[in-house]
Structure 1
Amino acid sequence: MKKILHILASPRGADSQSSKLAAAYLAAEKAANPDLTVDVLDLWQADLPEFDGDKAAAKMTFFGVGEMDASTQSAWDQIVSITERFTAADTYVLSVPMWNGGVPYKLKQYIDIITQPGLLFGFDPEAGYSGLLENKAARVFYTSGVYGPGASAKYGADHHSTYLSWWLDFIGVSDIKTVRFQPSLLTADPIGAQKAAVQQAADLAAS
């Protein structure tokens, strides 16, 4: 049975443009695959722990720095539990608005919690980093109010899709498809552009 993890990075609820795109995609996927399971992770409602000293110390043991003790092991077990929910999915659906040229801080916090050695990536001094995920897909829905691909620098820069594309590749996800509604405020026909983006999201499921 195919399982999707929908990661909501916007706090705007029903007003979120990125969530509307993801919803259109998921509705089309469910229509085509009735047995589909969707796990919704709302980062603004989730109990995301701080990546504190014990967690950082636990991570560094994988690089030969220090040793696990009861405190660091407990911290690591918490990370593993959160990450297992992520790795259990076959497809990741991310609805991601642009914040200050990048991703919302809740998404960055989540990424920093789960992107750990031995869980999502491996490391070899000679070969470098390697992603540990296999046969995973990602469908990413990007929105922004002002920035758009190819826009003048006065409208901002994209550390948004570039960062997420890098991260997904870093952990081993190569099947990545995206839909953009950028910009959502300065486009000449915002209602028409929004409808077109929603349709594109739905069509992505069919493709």
Structure 2
Amino acid sequence: MVIGAISRALEPEISELTKLLHINASPRGDKSQSAQLANAHIQQRRGSNARIQVDVLNLWTETLPEFDGDKNAAKLSFFGVGEMTAAGQGAWDQIAAITRRFIEADEYVFNIPMWNGGVPYKLKHYIDVITQPGLLFGFDPERGYFGLLENKTAHVFYTSGVFSPGADTKYGADFHSTYMDWWFGLVGIDAVVTDRHQPSILTADPTGDFEKVFERVKAAA
């Protein structure tokens, strides 16, 4: 059994515009450091390229469906478990419509604070909804999983209060960027640029450190 792309209708249309999807995984609004960094990057990009169209997906105001039994049954039918029912098809159509918005973007900007060593549950919910066979990934018994996205780029802004790469394990562990790196590979996003503001609290000068990162992000963009 080989699962590949199953819906040509979801393929992005050719456009001269660069479609950038900003996925905000922080609930802190203007106080969010990860969102401030992501917005600085986007503003600089837009200032130098008027052909960028920005779509903001705030996961804390977006209404996402529960990935319930009908949706799970529809997904499993692509692996040969059961058959696609009318209820399953309706559930699948809802998933496909949400995923279309993601597929049609050319670039992605994520701002992701660390929660309990991992990603916020709203982001995990979104990933669980859109990461479906035939939409974002395929599967072959010999080849295994393979991504269906092509020519996409992602820029990710990670923040955490205490954890920092290379710090003693008493300050936490990283299931944050490691999870996202795995997921990017699964769906076929190979060009990923990361920026970190870690830690943001456990430093001698939290405000000064953030200002330095902020300016670096603007310069890089």
For this structure pair, what is the TM-score category when the shorter chain's length is used for normalisation?
Answer: over 0.9
Which of 62, 65, 82 is matched with 1:46 structurally? Answer: 62
Instruction: In structure 2, list runs of 5 or more residues that go unmatched.
Output: 1-16
Counterpart in the other structure of 1:105: 121
Sequence identity (%): 61
Aligned residue in 1 for 2:133 = 117
* Matched residue count: 205
RMSD over aligned Cα, in angstroms?
0.7
Q: Which amino acid in structure 2 is aligned with residue 199 of structure 1?
A: E
- 96, 104, 127: which one pairs with 1:80? 96
Instruction: Decide which of 141, 146, 149 is 2:157's aligned counterpart.
Output: 141
Of residues 14, 23, 27 in structure 2, which corresponds to 1:11?
A: 27
The match for 2:214 among 198, 201, 205 is: 198
Greater shift in the superposed pair: 143-152 or 188-197: 188-197
Within the candidate set 46, 59, 72, 1:30 is matched to 46
Q: Distance in 2 between matches of 1:196 and 1:168?
A: 28
Distance (whole Å) between structure 2 residues aligned to residue 204 and residue 90 of structure 1: 19
**Which residue in 2 is equivalent to 1:56?**
72
Q: Which runs of 4+ in 1 moved over 4 A?
A: none
Alignment TM-score, normalising by the size of structure 2: 0.91
Counterpart CA distance in 1 for 2:100 and 2:40 is 27
* Residue segments in structure 1 that go unaligned for 5+ positions in a row: none
- State TM-score, norm by structure 1: 0.98
Quote the residue 2:186 is aligned against: 170
Asked if the contact 1:179/1:200 (under 8 Å) is kept, the reply is no
1:80-128 C-alpha deviation (Å, 9 max, x unpaired)? 0000000010111000000000000000000000000000000001110
